[in-house]
């Protein structure tokens, strides 16, 4: 599986050109992308990265990739990110790593969003992977009840035996919808609930999905 993730990560890095501001996603596939990007920076590529998590920022710094934040960039030319599921309309289910809010803020701003996955992420319908929803900690139990009315059993995410706290100081509820027939409507309905910060449904955002499988890269475009 890593070979396919590495293959697609290396392919995506070829899309990054001198002078670009690059949204740096999060996750294990993006880790391979950062390593390849770090090599190109060492060879003289001049870019600046906007990281979507503390984890990505730490690795990018270690690899010598120059970083910026929204106080000193005008926009994002290209963002490269992973996903947990991709449906036939290129809608995404993301947030397995817990970084969905900052990923969505960066990804939605990008002029071009490239998603890098291996073939295990390709699905007919989103929802087999539990949908992460970031919620405000205050009153999260009441928010959980409202979310559950949409047909799932939200689980408060734990990490190392503790409640997981996102980079934004919020909680994550993982929701087992099993199959999501209308992800755009579900996202809108969930976002309307008080206490919900963001959902892991990235609707109509991906411009390109690169899929690594069997030593090849398939490219899907919107
Ligand atoms: O949290 C996310 O959406 C990340 O992009 C991540 O879940 C992607 O999965 P990967 O670690 O298999 O690349």
pLDDT in tens, 20-32: 999 999 999 999 9
Atom number in ligand 1 closest to CA 29? 13
| Gap from CA of 210 to ligand 1 centroid (Å) | 14
**Token pair of 23 as six digits:** 């949204």
Looking from the CA of 216 toward its CB, the CA atoms found within 13 Å total 3
pLDDT of residue 28: 97
Question: What phi, psi does 84 have (nearest 5°)?
Answer: -90, -30
- Does 96 belong to an annotated binding site? yes
DSSP 3-state assignment of 103?
helix
Residue carrying the six token digits 């706290």: 165
Does 148 score more than 80 pLDDT? Answer: yes
| Sequence-ordered alpha helix ranges (H) in 69-159 | 100-109, 140-148
Contact 210, 221 (CB under 8 A): no
- CATH 3.40.50.1360 location in the chain: 2-119+203-215
Per the prediction, the chain carries an average pLDDT of: 97
Report yes or no on whether pTM surpasses 0.90. yes
Sign of the torsion formed by the C-alpha atoms of 82, 88, 91 and 96: negative
Contact 106, 141 (CB under 8 A): no
* Nearest of 49, 44, 45, 50 to residue 17 by alpha carbon: 45
Contact 107, 27 (CB under 8 A): no
Does 105 score more than 70 pLDDT? Answer: yes
| Gap from CA of 133 to ligand 1 centroid (Å) | 15
Contact 67, 61 (CB under 8 A): yes
Q: How far apart are CA 30 and CA 12, in angstroms?
A: 10
Of the residues 103, 134, 162, 198, which is catalytic?
A: 103
pLDDT of residue 138: 98
Q: How confident is the model at residue 170 (pLDDT cuts 50, 70, 90)?
A: very high
- As a residue count, the chain comes to 222
Measured CA distances, 116 to 7, 84, 120 (Å):
10, 10, 12
- CATH 3.30.70.260 location in the chain: 131-199
Mean pLDDT for 5-29 is: 98
Topology of the domain comprising 2-119+203-215: Rossmann fold (3.40.50)
Topology of the domain comprising 131-199: Alpha-Beta Plaits (3.30.70)
Residue in 4, 28, 84, 168 to alter for ligand 1 test, most ligand atoms within 8 A of Cβ: 84
| Gap from CA of 60 to ligand 1 centroid (Å) | 16
Q: Which residues lie with the beta carbon below 6 Å from any ligand 1 atom?
A: 25-29, 81-84, 94-97, 99, 103
Mean pLDDT for 97-125 is: 98
Atom number in ligand 1 closest to CA 98? 1
pLDDT tens string 36-69: 999 999 999 999 999 999 999 999 999 999 999 9
Is the reported ipTM for this assembly greater than 0.95? yes
* Nearest of 29, 27, 28, 34 to residue 13 by alpha carbon: 34
Query: Closest residue (by CA) to atom 2 of ligand 1?
Result: 95
| Gap from CA of 147 to ligand 1 centroid (Å) | 23
Does 1 score more than 70 pLDDT? Answer: no
Residue in 5, 94, 199, 212 to alter for ligand 1 test, most ligand atoms within 8 A of Cβ: 94
pLDDT of residue 222: 86
Q: Establish whether 11 is a catalytic residue.
A: no
- Does 27 belong to an annotated binding site? yes
Does 164 score more than 90 pLDDT? Answer: yes
Atom number in ligand 1 closest to CA 30? 13
Q: How far apart are CA 152 and CA 71, in angstroms?
A: 39
């Amino acid at each position: 599986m890593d070979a396919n993730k590495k293959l697609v990560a290396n392919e995506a890095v070829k899309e990054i050109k001198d002078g670009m501001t690059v949204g740096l996603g999060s996750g294990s596939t993006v880790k391979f992308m950062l390593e390849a990007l770090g090599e190109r920076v060492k060879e003289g590529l001049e870019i600046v990265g906007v990281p979507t998590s503390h984890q990505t920022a730490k690795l990018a710094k270690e690899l010598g990739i120059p970083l910026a934040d929204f106080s000193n960039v005008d926009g994002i030319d290209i963002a490269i990110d992973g996903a947990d599921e991709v449906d036939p309309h290129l809608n995404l289910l993301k947030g397995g790593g817990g970084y969905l809010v900052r990923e969505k803020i960066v990804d939605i701003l990008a002029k071009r969003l490239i998603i890098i996955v291996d073939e295990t992420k390709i699905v007919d319908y989103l929802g087999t992977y539990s949908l992460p929803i970031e919620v405000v900690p205050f009153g999260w139990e009441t928010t959980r009840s409202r979310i559950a009315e949409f047909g799932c059993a939200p689980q408060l995410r734990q990490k190392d035996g503790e409640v997981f706290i996102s980079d934004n100081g919020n909680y994550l509820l993982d929701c087992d919808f099993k199959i999501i027939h209308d992800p755009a409507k579900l996202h809108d309905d969930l976002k309307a609930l008080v206490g919900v910060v963001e959902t892991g449904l990235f609707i109509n955002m991906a411009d390109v999905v690169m899929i690594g499988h069997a030593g090849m890269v398939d490219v899907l475009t919107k």
